[in-house]
Amino acid sequence: MDKKELINCGKVKSVYNSTNDDEVIIEFRDDMTAGDGERKEVMNNKGAYNAIISSKIFKVLEENGIETQFIDLPEPNVMIAKKLEMIPIEVIVRNIATGSLIRKYPIADGKRLNPPIVQMDYKDDEYHDPMLNDSIIKALGIATQEEIDILTEKALKINEVLTAFLKDAGIILVDFKVEFGKDKDGNILLGDEISPDGCRLWDSQTLDMLDKELFRKGKDSEVMDAYIEVYNRIIPDDEKVI
Ligand code: 5GP
């Protein structure tokens, strides 16, 4: 694997060009951030745990007919992926009301949402990821109505597959954020990552948090144990590389 130039340095991942023009190399760093990057800490091996968890989830989604950018995981924290032109929309699916939803709307914390809520936020730290609607998305010129419908359909399918997969591991998928991009033929694929950084995951028995919400709440010392718990539950022993 031959890293070329850095093409994007995000808050927790660095994306490099590959010698293959259709591919990129994504390095998952050990950084953890909250509050649009205002708070930042380094967590030992966090990048590797997230890359492995994300790769596993992307493979499960592929097996269920959802195309992703995943190609390979040559090192525990390095993913080879199809090059995508990312759409700056965070597609959020909510099965249980919590987080920003209950801060903004009169909905009880913990209420089951059936059907799930699909929400789209504009991915822009400067504007603090404001919530979008179809008209705003079109006014910003970031997606057409047809593309919005594809994003919604794909996010709901991901929710279905992931909810069932995590249920088998004793985990409730409360809500999550996904990002999509277009490949060189214009196909919309799932990109970025699905990891405890961008999901709310609760233990099915105890309802304990197993995700980045612990960090957001200042419980820094508990975060890595939670990520390792998710890793241990969803990665079979013969696939464990750390
Ligand atoms: P909320 O809007 O309630 O804060 O977040 C809803 C879900 O989307 C949570 O699972 C949260 O982790 C995820 N999410 C929303 N915005 C972001 C973001 O900017 N970065 C990450 N990593 N996850 C996000």
Residue type, 18: S
**Distance from Cα 20 to the centre of ligand 1, integer Å:** 32
Per-residue b/e over 61-79, b at no fewer than 16 CB within 10 Å? beeeebbbbbbebeebbbb
Distance between CA atoms of residues 192 and 206, nearest Å:
30
Express as a percent the part of the chain with pLDDT over 90: 98
Q: Are 133 and 152 in contact (CB under 8 A)?
A: no
Tell me the CA–centroid distance for residue 176 and ligand 1, in Å. Answer: 6
Which candidate, 126, 104, 101, 103, places its Cα nearest to that of 112?
101
Please, which pLDDT band fits residue 140 given cuts at 50, 70 and 90?
very high
Query: In this predicted model, what pLDDT tens digit does every residue of 198-236 receive, in sequence order?
Result: 999 999 999 999 999 999 999 999 999 999 999 999 999
What amino acid occupies position 127? Answer: Y
* Region for 207 from its dihedrals, namely left if φ exceeds 0, alpha if ψ lies in -120 to 50, beta otherwise: left
Residues with CB under 6 A from ligand 1: 90, 92, 99-101, 129, 175-177, 197-200, 212
Distance of CA 120 to the CA centre of its chain: 14
| Residue 179 three-state SS | strand
pLDDT in tens, 113-138: 999 999 999 999 999 999 999 999 99
Q: Which of 40, 92, 173 to mutate to test the pocket of ligand 1 (most atoms within 8 A of CB)?
A: 92
Question: Any idea what DSSP says for residue 92?
Answer: E
Cα 107 to Cα 121: distance, rounded to the nearest angstrom: 19
